[in-house]
Structure 1
Amino acid sequence: MTKFGEIISVQKPVLIDFYSDWDDAENTVKMLRNVAAALGDKAKVIKIDIKKNEILADALRVKGNPTFMIYKNGEMKWRQTGFQDASTLIGLVKQYL
């Protein structure tokens, strides 16, 4: 996997969904695809499995599921734990374009 620092250090916003296999993964994937489609190449949308990336999740203090974060230029701009709908996420990411 690409190093986390490389993923978040880009100039465009990066929306990250920290998830685990026990949440409603299918609906979340559909929702994130809608977010990615709406944003096009202006932003990145990434899912990170908490169980497969426990060290990273611990380092970022990800305790809830799902946890969403927006990074830009390596800096965390926004973070929220709990389900978010596509329109909310799109609006949040657009603030950092």
Structure 2
Amino acid sequence: PMIYSPLNNDQKTIEVRNKRYKTIQEAKRICLNVFLNSYEIQLQEYDQQYENEFLQLESHLINNININGSCVYQQIQQHMNYQTNKLKRQVSMKIRSLRGI
């Protein structure tokens, strides 16, 4: 004979709901980590592109401009480094906030 046990069924329902919630949360974490990892890779690629462009600019300025051009180049370099570092800090802060660090 089958005995009806509502308490047992309620416990199983709660367990299934909790397991479902944990599975969904884990899937969200995995998706977020995949997104953040791809974003970090993209940032590294942009950083490399920036470095390449900057080296081309340096070469152009040094080869085509007189002595004062070196000063212009140094000012451009300082400004670009400042802006790049500022953007990197902002992105890093956003990534940390998304990860809950």
Question: Normalised by the shorter chain, which TM-score bucket?
Answer: under 0.3
More strand by share: 1
TM-score by length of 2: 0.23
More helix by share: 2
TM-score by length of 1: 0.24
